[in-house]
Homo-oligomer: A and B are copies of this chain.
């Protein structure tokens, strides 16, 4: 059994991680920390876990975390980078679900996150945990930067096109839509039911933190910097991201879908849909799957890709467990091959 710890398990990413880990056959959850909820039963905060978990939230202390084989950080940005060096030293593996280790360039990180990076050397070592591009590196990693939710949906949708140089990658346009759970469980007016339901809006148009993360990944598969306009939107629902991606073809391609099928052949969590069918976010609700469709409207030279994930699963906790499975040599789908809840 893998002994697992969670730092900061009170948000939506945390409770989703708990849902997966309490049912994972190879994991024993030994510690969950939360400064704000010390001593409270985890199932008191999350009644869906009643009967599935007995432990209480504890102080985030080094001693108990150091006993774990793997520590997940489901904390605000800036927390994991402070505790990572000591835990790695103690022999723990680390999976950070926040952004501390996602951007390789510390300058860019500081610009978008407003903090100086606490451990640039470990940042250099950290592996970006998108299995579809980094599977082998993940298997050998000590520390994983678990990808952001929007970047996962956008990158999986763009990779086959960008990797093969098929589109003009200086003018990419990603129009993404997310459920409200992506904004977290903090008490803010803008995410109240009465503010967010029965409404749609763009936000962060002038610049969202996931922009440099997407550009880093696509730039790496392209082999050069890419140009991207990324506009996220808030949807009146809990879970799910749909990213509609636009690109202008540079070369003529007979069967775009075939390129996706080949690129993702054997991937357990990427599903390329039949032609003509756009994916619904509900088809992945509670599941770790990313479903993708490719279109070429009216046979023109603009490609349209629609990519959907559950932001709390493939966009956060599910992908984190996928990374853990890879790091510990387990069958990679263990504990994350749930069928989506529909309806």
Q: Which residues of A contact B (CB under 8 A)?
A: 12, 15, 18-19, 22-23, 46-52, 171, 173, 175, 177, 179-181, 185, 187-189, 191-203, 205-207, 227, 229-231, 233, 235-240, 242, 244, 246, 248, 271, 273, 276, 278-287, 289, 291, 293, 295, 297-298, 300, 302, 304, 306, 308, 338-343
With A192-B191, A341-B48 as known contacts, state yes or no: A298 contacts B175, CB within 8 Å.
no
A51 partner, pick from B188, B189, B271, B281, beta carbons under 8 A? B271
Chain B residue at minimal CB-CB distance from A241? B200
CB pair B197 A237 closer than 8 Å = yes
CB pair A19 B341 closer than 8 Å = yes
Q: How far is the CA of A293 from the CA of B180 in the complex (A)?
A: 22
Q: How far is the CA of A343 from the CA of B50 in the complex (A)?
A: 15
Q: How far is the CA of A96 from the CA of B291 in the complex (A)?
A: 34
CB pair A48 B193 closer than 8 Å = no
CB pair B284 A48 closer than 8 Å = yes
A206 partner, pick from B193, B231, B276, B279, beta carbons under 8 A? B276
CB pair B22 A339 closer than 8 Å = yes
Q: How far is the CA of A207 from the CA of B298 in the complex (A)?
A: 7
Contacts of A286 in B (CB 8 A): 286, 341
CB pair B279 A343 closer than 8 Å = no
CB pair B235 A235 closer than 8 Å = yes
With A181-B343, A194-B12, A340-B48 as known contacts, state yes or no: A207 contacts B297, CB within 8 Å.
yes
Q: Indicate the member of A180, A188, A229 with the most B CB atoms within 10 Å.
A: A229
CB pair A205 B297 closer than 8 Å = yes
Contacts of A188 in B (CB 8 A): 187
Copies of this protein in the complex: 4
Minimum distance in angstroms from A21 CB to a CB of chain B: 10
A194 partner, pick from B185, B285, B295, beta carbons under 8 A? B185
Contacts of A171 in B (CB 8 A): 248, 302
A48 partner, pick from B19, B201, B230, B283, beta carbons under 8 A? B283
CB pair A198 B282 closer than 8 Å = yes
Other CB < 8 Å A-B pairs besides A23-B339, A198-B239, A202-B278, 18 of them?
A18-B339, A47-B291, A48-B283, A48-B285, A173-B173, A173-B246, A173-B302, A181-B194, A185-B343, A193-B236, A193-B238, A197-B197, A197-B238, A201-B306, A202-B304, A205-B293, A229-B300, A236-B236
CB pair B235 A281 closer than 8 Å = no
Chain B residue at minimal CB-CB distance from A44? B274
CB pair A194 B180 closer than 8 Å = yes
Q: Indicate the member of A171, A239, A293 with the most B CB atoms within 10 Å.
A: A171
CB pair B339 A52 closer than 8 Å = yes
Contacts of A231 in B (CB 8 A): 244, 297, 304
CB pair A280 B193 closer than 8 Å = no
With A338-B23, A343-B195 as known contacts, state yes or no: A202 contacts B306, CB within 8 Å.
yes
Instruction: Give 13 A-B contacts (CB < 8 Å), ordered by A residue.
Output: A47-B279, A194-B343, A195-B343, A198-B198, A199-B280, A200-B242, A201-B279, A201-B280, A205-B295, A207-B298, A233-B244, A285-B341, A286-B341
Q: How far is the CA of A52 from the CA of B173 in the complex (A)?
A: 33
A297 partner, pick from B177, B206, B240, beta carbons under 8 A? B206
